[in-house]
Structure 1
Amino acid sequence: MTRLYNDPAAFADEALEGFAAAHRRWVWPVPGGVVRATAKTPGQVAVVIGGGSGHYPAFSGLVGQGLAHGAAVGNVFASPSAQQIRTVARAAESGGGVLLLYGNYAGDVLHFGQAAERLNAEGIATRTFAVTDDLSSAAPDEAHKRRGIAGDLPVFKAAAAAAEQGLPLDEVARVAAYANARTRSFGIAFSGCTLPGADHPLFTVPEDRMAVGLGIHGEPGIGEAAVPTADEAAELLVSTLLKELPDGVTDPDGQRAAVILNGLGSVKYEELFVVYRRVARLLADAGVQTVDPEVGELVTSFDMAGISLTLTWLDAGLEALWTAPADAPAYRKGRMPEAVAAEEDEASYETGSGPEPYVASDDSRKAAATALDALSRIKETVDAHADELGRIDAVAGDGDHGIGMQRGSAAAYEAALHAQELGAGAHSLLTAAGDAWADRAGGTSGALWGIILRSIADVLGDTERPTPTTLAHGVRQASDSVRRTGGAEVGDKTMVDVLVPFAEALGQQVGEGAELTAAWAAAADVAEQAARDTARLVPRMGRARPHAEKSLGTPDAGAHSLALIVRAVHGALATCQ
């Protein structure tokens, strides 16, 4: 378990601060992550990696010459926000464009995609790519749905080495995709990890059993088996990976492969070496020649007791990239040329000149005061239910929903309070709140709550007096935007299962002439029932999808939190009547 922490919600920020302070030779801190502390090469593609905290040395420990130019780091097991990613990318880029690399998780896909859109709009050519190496998380015919685990490293390494060679952006992106296509990983675990502040692990395994095919966010495995000997564990890992060869590799005999035996947090190095002894023999027996194998902690999951094996099937081009030198805090290979330290302003980022007072009508400012009260009630509700939300999320996911919602709702309220002090109307106040929620919470829920608040804000405006019809339209717009952006539909066991019927019920009530407080109360009843009904569903999206059967009987955490929130908002509407 995690024993040393202060405020669990501040753990990720404090860990990043300490990491940067300890590794000033390699990295400089910027808001949301770190960038190289060495001088930039003009025109070189900047490879920016990222993901949630809890995986060290991924992602901050992989920033340095020959590896990433920057890393955006989110909350524990939650994607960094689009703003964090954008800030890191702007600090890292040097005129050759940016390649954003991350694991294939819904929150990362949303936030990195949004960051890429903003960077491209600002004139910084940007590409994105999601690593999909974990063969246990989807079948071969759905390989694009697989999550990224320890295979992150060879993909990051190949792309970064290509960038060091001076290749253009599209070619560096092609190299990343090619390395990913030739990489497979598979893992096992004997116990789950415990998040900072939690009193129990995200999943448990019986004493004489192990989880097979686990994720790196505390997701339980897709199955269980008896605890093996070290040799038996090696045989399971190797045989599983040799069953699925990438296109272009028809027989392992005669092939060359990069090999990573990765410890997930609590398995000691000596144990890893015992396992690798057998892994090396099995691969040799299959005719595979290993190239620069890595044995150690490369992509972890806090204190999870587990291991994973990764194979990247090399050709001459990939092998040159895999063996190229690198010098990062947690990963060094070969000998890099002597680096010149960057001038401090090279890693600069815009801080802004401070907000100007808002222009808004009195009617809109009155509506903004109600919105602020609603955000205060949302924060209080989330705080009261954070542990419950985390427990629900941990049934088949990673257990971070409560922490993420706390960070997001608190940031939204603080941003809204500051906006009100500057005279914001409803649009400006909710826009500030939405941006702060997305930025602070990260993860899928952070992105979607940012979309919800901004969608409502866009309809309300800063000059008109909001009406029940206007608000109902804003909620409908939010529902449509979440479905369009997140890709979920009713029945997928997500917050959409509550948001859609709530929006429809609110619109119907208002259309029939109900006053706002009564209409919202009736729609909140619908939302609460819809949230309870998600217990009968199995997830078809997100991290819980591979563990669908485990979530039967438990409501979706995002759906439940939305139902709690719409009920809290009703209190603010009732007070303002």
Structure 2
Amino acid sequence: MTQLFNDPAAFADEALEGFVAAHRRWVRPVPGGVVRAAARVPGQVAVVVGGGSGHYPAFSGLVGQGLAHGAAVGNVFASPSARQVRQVAKAAEAGGGVLLTFGNYAGDVLHFGQAADQLRAEGVDVRVLPVTDDVSSASPEEAHKRRGVAGDLAVFKVAGAAAERGLPLDEVTRLAELANARTRSFGVALSGCTLPGADEPLFTVDPGRLALGLGIHGEPGMGERDVPSADETAELLVGTLLAELPPGVDGTAGQRAAVILNGLGAVKYEELFVVYRRVAELLGEAGVEIVDPEVGELVTSFDMAGVSLTLCWLTDELEPLWTAPADAPAYRKGSVAAPAAATPADDEPAAAAEQDALPAADDDSRRAARRVLAALAAVRATVDEHVDELGRIDAVAGDGDHGIGMRRGSHAAHEAAADAVARGAGAATTLDLAAAAWADRAGGTSGALWGVILGSIGSALGDTGRPTPEAVASGVAGAAAGVQRLGKAEVGDKTMVDALVPFADALGEAVATGAPLATAWDTAASAAEAAAAATAELLPRMGRARPHAEKSLGTPDAGAHSLALITRAVQRTLADKEVD
């Protein structure tokens, strides 16, 4: 259990701050994460990695010569926002383009993809590569759906070494893709992990049992068996990976492989060495020659008692990149040349953005903005009240971070809206700034989707005139369409969409009958509540809960439930005559 923390919602920020303070020789902070402390090499490809906090040394600990040029760091177990990724990439980019690479999780794919689009619009050449090494998370026929776990390190290392050689972006990307295609991982656990501030672990394993096929976000295993001995654990890990050889690997005899035996947080190094002793024997018996093995904590999950094995089947191209020197805070190999000194521009912290002038607004829209602020205050209070419940629901088949993410997002949105209203903003601008703040601070899939919801409603309201019920209903309908488009979810997938679409439909129908907005919203909130409760009987078809679908039966979707709570909280502000 993680016991040393202050405010759980601030844990990721404070951990990153302390990491930078301890490793200034290697990294410097930038908005959204860290980049190398050394001067950028003109024309060199920038390899930017990233993901949620809670996995150290992934991802910030892998920034340095021969490895990553920057890392975007999200909240605990939540992807960094698109803005964070873009900011880190801009700070790391040196004229040779950018490779964005990360574990294959829905939020990361969404945010890194958005950042890539934004960077391309600014003239930066960008490639995107999700790592897909976890054999337990999808079949070989659907390998593109697999999660990225400790195999991240093999892909990042190959990409970083290729960039260090001065290879062009297309070639760096090709080699990283080759490494990904030839990397396989499998993990087991004796216990789940506990997020900072949580009273219970995300999942539990009965005493004397071993969970098979877990993810690095504490996703429950795919099955269980009796706890094996260290040798039997090694046999399970090796046997699973040798049973699925990547395309192009014809048998094991004579093959060369990079081997990573990874501790997930609570397994001590001596235990890992006991397991690795048998791993090495088994691979040797299979005719595999091990190249520069890594044994230790490389991609962790807080206090999870677990271990994973990764095999990257090397080629003549990949091997020298795997063995090339590297010097990062948490990963060092060989000897690297002293880097060039950073320029003053490199060393200067990013200047705070000047406060932009707000679009003009009339008195009617300013009054509407004050009501928006009241609604966001109610949202914040509701999320605070239910934060533990949301985390518990999310942990049934997911990673348990929904409550923390919603709290960070709702607080940021309310603070941004309060600032906007104080500066005389209209309703649209207030919601637009709140949307950007929610997406940026919350990260993860839900952060991006709530950014879409607030932004869509704001666009429909405008900054002039008194918003009509029809405009509000139109904005909510646009929000539902935007969420479906961005999240690729449909009604029945057991996501936020299952409550949002009924809410939007009911609101539009009630407004069309001429009902006042408060009355129409009340009707729609009831529809959202009923729809969210009904998700308990659905099996998830999207997101991290998908591989553990059966575990979520009887429990509503966390995103749908939080949306229903929020619609009811907003309804109470609409009915409040004292809000001007």
Fold in common (TM above 0.5): yes
Partner of 1:18: 18
Partner of 2:441: 440
Partner of 1:222: 222
In structure 2, how many angstroms separate the alpha carbons of the residues matched to 1:512 and 1:363? 24
SS at match of 2:360: coil
Letter in 1 for 2:154: P
In structure 2, how many angstroms separate the alpha carbons of the residues matched to 1:347 and 1:37? 7
Given that 2:195 and 2:201 are in contact with CA atoms closer than 8 Å, whether structure 1 keeps it comes out as: yes
SS at match of 1:276: helix
Letter in 1 for 2:507: L
Partner of 2:459: 458
Provide structure 2 residue ranges, at least 5 long, that are not aligned to the other structure. Answer: none
Tell me if 1:112 matches 2:112.
yes
Given that 1:30 and 1:347 are in contact with CA atoms closer than 8 Å, whether structure 2 keeps it comes out as: no
The 5 Å alignment of 1:177-576 reads 177-346=177-346, 349-576=350-577
In structure 2, how many angstroms separate the alpha carbons of the residues matched to 1:46 and 1:120? 14
Which range moves more in the overlay, 180-189 or 83-92? 83-92
1:350 Cα deviation after fit: 5.0
TM-score (norm 1): 0.99
SS at match of 1:565: helix
Letter in 2 for 1:317: E
Letter in 2 for 1:275: V
Instruction: Render the CA deviation track for 1:232-291: whole Å, top value 9, x for unaligned.
Output: 000000000011111111211111100000000000000000000000010011111110
Given that 1:517 and 1:573 are in contact with CA atoms closer than 8 Å, whether structure 2 keeps it comes out as: yes
In structure 2, how many angstroms separate the alpha carbons of the residues matched to 1:435 and 1:170? 33
The 5 Å alignment of 1:129-144 reads 129-144=129-144
In structure 2, how many angstroms separate the alpha carbons of the residues matched to 1:347 and 1:42? 16
Provide structure 1 residue ranges, at least 5 long, that are not aligned to the other structure. Answer: none
Instruction: Render the CA deviation track for 1:54-111: whole Å, top value 9, x for unaligned.
Output: 0000000000000000001011100111111111111111111111111111111111
In structure 2, how many angstroms separate the alpha carbons of the residues matched to 1:97 and 1:196? 37
Aligned Cα RMSD in Å? 1.0
Letter in 2 for 1:454: G
Given that 1:104 and 1:146 are in contact with CA atoms closer than 8 Å, whether structure 2 keeps it comes out as: yes
Partner of 2:35: 35
Given that 1:91 and 1:347 are in contact with CA atoms closer than 8 Å, whether structure 2 keeps it comes out as: no
In structure 1, how many angstroms separate the alpha carbons of the residues matched to 2:218 and 2:419? 36
Task: Identify if the C-alpha distance between structure 1 residues 72 and 327 changes in structure 2 by more than 3 Å, giving closer, same or farther.
Answer: same
Instruction: Render the CA deviation track for 1:188-237: whole Å, top value 9, x for unaligned.
Output: 00001111111111111011101100000111101111100000000000
In structure 2, how many angstroms separate the alpha carbons of the residues matched to 1:344 and 1:157? 29
1:357 Cα deviation after fit: 4.0
Given that 1:92 and 1:347 are in contact with CA atoms closer than 8 Å, whether structure 2 keeps it comes out as: no
Given that 2:26 and 2:329 are in contact with CA atoms closer than 8 Å, whether structure 1 keeps it comes out as: yes
In the TM superposition, structure 1's runs of 4+ consecutive aligned residues that sit over 6 Å from their partners are: none
SS at match of 1:332: strand
Given that 2:28 and 2:37 are in contact with CA atoms closer than 8 Å, whether structure 1 keeps it comes out as: yes
Letter in 1 for 2:30: V
TM-score (norm 2): 0.98
In structure 2, how many angstroms separate the alpha carbons of the residues matched to 1:341 and 1:134? 39
Instruction: Render the CA deviation track for 1:137-187: whole Å, top value 9, x for unaligned.
Output: 011111111110000000001111111111111221222211111000000
Partner of 1:103: 103
In structure 2, how many angstroms separate the alpha carbons of the residues matched to 1:142 and 1:459? 40
In structure 2, how many angstroms separate the alpha carbons of the residues matched to 1:189 and 1:419? 48
Letter in 2 for 1:384: E
In structure 1, how many angstroms separate the alpha carbons of the residues matched to 2:126 and 2:411? 31
Given that 2:358 and 2:429 are in contact with CA atoms closer than 8 Å, whether structure 1 keeps it comes out as: no
Letter in 1 for 2:233: A
In structure 1, how many angstroms separate the alpha carbons of the residues matched to 2:501 and 2:284? 55
In structure 1, how many angstroms separate the alpha carbons of the residues matched to 2:19 and 2:98? 24
Which range moves more in the overlay, 108-117 or 476-485? 108-117
Letter in 1 for 2:477: R
Letter in 2 for 1:17: E
In structure 1, how many angstroms separate the alpha carbons of the residues matched to 2:484 and 2:192? 32
SS at match of 2:317: helix
Which range moves more in the overlay, 169-178 or 1-10? 169-178
SS at match of 2:473: helix
Given that 2:255 and 2:313 are in contact with CA atoms closer than 8 Å, whether structure 1 keeps it comes out as: yes
1:455 Cα deviation after fit: 1.1
1:365 Cα deviation after fit: 1.2
